[in-house]
Structure 1
Amino acid sequence: MAPVTGRWDNWAGTAHDEYLAWTEPPETPGDVQMGEVIAWLRDELPADAMICNGAGNYTAWVHRFYRYRGYATQLAPTSGSMGYGVPAAVAAKLRHPERDVVCFAGDGCFLMTGQEMATAKQYGANVIFIVVNNGMYGTIRMHQEREYPSRVSGTQLVNPDFAALAKAYGATGEVVTETAQFADAFARAKAADSPALIELRTDPEAITPSATLSGLRAQAEAREKGNP
């Protein structure tokens, strides 16, 4: 009997190919390529590793380029709550000490709940915290540039030395300024007998995987001049 064919024959395969292409990270401004960092973790972390995050544009890279391969491997807020990832990661590691737990936090996110590193240290929750530092509240800045390019305010941050702050809590801490430095930094964090923090210093221009701040600003200014 001849196989049944129909107009959906190639749809699933095409959609899957498009999905795989979409999850390959494009190059973005700056020396730290967040997409490459996430893709590396995607390949290196075990399937049961737990990924935690708060809210902010930095999560676009995590959700787009990491491939979750098991149930209960993602802890993320559904309400857009900044600061969620750090305490969630501590709780996850205490509940599942045998599993790798990696927490992503923007610099603004970490400033809200980063003090929970003290809890992690006190109870031996050896989470790896990855602080994505672009020096601003990225999501709010994106909306300001897109809608009100001449009225940007209140989104720049004056940050502490996150690596030094981690060490003050009794954790390890180091700074990554180039993508090539990340793998070794992560290996050291994983080998540490304590919580560990890796600060990624990212370019503010890389506001999403597919947009830049200057590009959004230029589009908004063109609209203001009547040139959509």
Structure 2
Amino acid sequence: MPHQLSPSSHSPEPMTGGDAIADALLRHGVDTVFALPGAQMYGLTDAFARRADRLRTLGARHEQTSAYMAFGYARASGRPGVFSVVPGPGVLNASAALLTAHSTNTPVLALTGDVMSDFRNRERGQLHEYREQLATLRTLTKHAEHIEHPSHAPQQVATAFQRMNSGRKGAVALQASWDYFTQRACVTPAEPLSLTSTPLADPGVIEEAAAILGSSQNCMIFVGSGALDASAEVTALAEVLGAPVVSFRGGRGVVPDDHPLGFTVAAGQRLWQQTDVALIIGSRFELLDIRWNHRPEGVKLIRIDIDPAESRRLPAAINIVADAAQASQALALAVERRGVPSRRDGILADTKASAEAAIQVVQPQMDYLRVIRDVLPRDGFFVDELSQVGFTSIFGFPIYQPRHLVTSGYQGTLGFGFPTALGVKVAFPDKAVVSICGDGGFLFAGQELATAVQYGINLVTIVFNNDAYGNVLRDQQNGFGGRLIGSELVNPDFVKFAESFGVQAFRVDSPQALRPVLQRAIEADRPVLIEVSIGRGRDGNPWPFLHPSFK
């Protein structure tokens, strides 16, 4: 059962509903909110404004950006991201980002409104009315509630944070009626709730898994977002086993790509058919039956996941329901006690080298990615996008620390990259952050260059311009007789576009030209946009390395 609020030592204070929420956010350690103000939310945003010395509020030009910035902030930092938008259209505009946050197990809190309390559920057509909005929010989050009265806010905010951060993390939402935010009442503040208890790995199950792993000749480890906070433990376990660690998207950097056991999907796929045990840590493991398709004969699956429901979604020989760090540490100790057979160190090094050589065919993306990796500091952040260079980066851009690659996960949310990267930079203003976008995805939120300038978000954005939705163009050419519908794009002059917002901008047309420009951009104390001219249809095909059955 969730922990309940203990009796508060705080005295009741008269405050508005907006104040009650703002005060509760501060008590939960929130110091940044991404908010696009509107009529229903004035009482809340005013409460933020009156706490400006403790609570930084950043606006945006679209609700999707407020939500994506909160997502980027949370995904890169591991701290909750909070955003506020108006109900109805505002919630729907933010919904793609909220879905992305929840799908990637990222702690994001959405705050929104509703019609006046006297008009709820009457369908009288009040501004931004959305029938059963709460029901929609519940499909996008792991927890969503309506706050009826200011006195309820402290406990409901505390419960939302508890649910957001307990077990498998995810997005949550709170809404309240328009008049709630300015309604005054006596409110008793509340301290944060303890998180619900985390399951501990069953020692007997650990021993069973250790026995299988100890006798394995060719085991492979697969990591996802659930292992982001278990880097040291997973790396130690891999070293005990001598097993390569493969990450697709969410787990990139859990084991650094320059570690002998750090494998991309391009390298891991080469060893898959010889694998006898797959140890899956905090991952849905879509590679198994979506990407790689063919399961090696007799391979045994061992899963570590904090969510017990995962054992039903993907059956395994052994399911360890536990936190990734605790279970990985326990498993490493158990395997060490048993001993392990000699592994395939030479084969692993050769496999990594051969995969690295093979992916060089994906051009010009690989050459551009190499330049970015060379220039971006080791602790810099890289935010991808649904684009030809973004797809290639999944296997072609080395990542050295968890959370330093930010992706939209399996949602594949076109247009998420640039606004998400703004949030990453807000979380880490002193770190280098590079956003790579295609021309199509960038213009989903290109107007947010204004937000970057207004708030001094000194992000470096690289727009790879191939005058197309490149993947759609290739699919229509290869699979649908070359009948092109909606995949060819007419773009603005991106340099002039950026400069019109006061953003410094450059255009390059080769990896060699990109290098010095990117070096200056990262050192600049201002937002910078770099357009890379590719040309329509000139991108290499990354899909043989991402989905071998797709050519």
- The bucket for the TM-score relative to the shorter chain is 0.7 to 0.9
Amino acid in structure 2 at the alignment position of 1:149: G
Separation in 1, partners of 2:351, 2:495: 39
Q: How does 1:1-228 map to 2 (within 5 A)?
A: 8=218, 11-24=344-357, 25-27=359-361, 33-78=364-409, 79-203=411-535, 204-209=537-542
Distance 2:499 2:384 in 1: 21
- 8 A Cα contact 2:375 2:515, kept in partner: no
Whether the 8 Å contact between 2:361 and 2:540 is mirrored in structure 1 is no
Instruction: Provide the rounded CA distance (Å) in 2 between the counterparts of 1:128 and 1:202.
Output: 19
- Using the TM superposition, give the Cα deviation of residue 110 of structure 1 relative to its aligned residue in structure 2, in angstroms: 0.7
Task: After superposition, give the CA deviation of every residue in 1:57-77 in whole Å (9 maximum; x if it has no partner).
Answer: 321222222111012101111
In structure 2, distance between residues paired with 1:15 and 1:210: 23
| Distance in 1 (alpha carbons) for counterparts of 2:471 and 2:454 | 33
* Equivalent-residue separation in structure 2 for 1:67 and 1:208 (angstroms): 19
Q: Which runs of 5+ in 1 are unaligned?
A: 1-5, 212-218, 220-228
Contact 2:460 2:522 in 1 (8 A): yes
Which has the greater radius of gyration? 2
What code does the residue aligned with 2:432 have?
A: D
Structure 1 position 34, deviation (Å): 2.4
1:128-161 deviation per Cα after TM superposition (whole angstroms, max 9, x unaligned): 0000111100111121112112422221101011
| d(CA) in 2 for partners of 1:206, 1:85 | 19
Shift of 1:92: 0.8
Residues 176-222 of structure 1, C-alpha deviations (whole Å, 9 max, x = no match): 112210111112212322100111111422242478xxxxxxx9xxx
What is the CA distance between 1:36 and its match in structure 2? 1.5
Q: State the TM-score, normalized to the length of structure 2.
A: 0.35
Is the CA contact (8 Å cut-off) linking 1:89 and 1:103 kept in structure 2? yes
Counterpart contact for 1:138–1:207, Cα < 8 Å: no
Partners of 2:346 and 2:391 in 1: how far apart?
A: 25
The CA distance in 1 between the partners of 2:442 and 2:392, in whole Å, is 17
Structure 2: give runs of 5+ residues left out of the alignment. 1-215, 219-341, 545-550
Alpha-carbon distance between aligned partners in 2 of 1:23 and 1:41, rounded to the nearest angstrom: 17
Contact 1:108 1:137 in 2 (8 A): yes
Q: How many residues align?
A: 205
Aligned to 1:3: none
Q: Take 2:510 and 2:380, find their aligned partners in 1: how far apart are those partners?
A: 24
After superposition, the C-alpha distances for 1:76-109 in whole angstroms (9 at most, x for unaligned) are: 1121111111111111111110111000000000
TM-score (norm 1): 0.81
Q: 1:20 to 1:117 in 2, by over 3 A?
A: farther
Structure 2 vs 1, CA of residues 194 and 27 (structure 1 numbering), >3 Å: closer, same or farther? same
Runs of 4+ in 1 over 6 A off after TM superposition: none
Structure 1 counterpart of 2:372, one-letter code: L
Identity rate of aligned residues, in percent?
28
Give the drift of 1:163.
1.1
| Mapped partners of 1:27, 1:124: distance in 2 | 39
Segment of structure 1 superposing worse, 10-19 or 65-74: 10-19
In 2, are the aligned partners of 1:142 and 1:207 still within 8 Å (CA)? no
Letter in 2 for 1:23: E
Structure 1 letter corresponding to 2:400: R
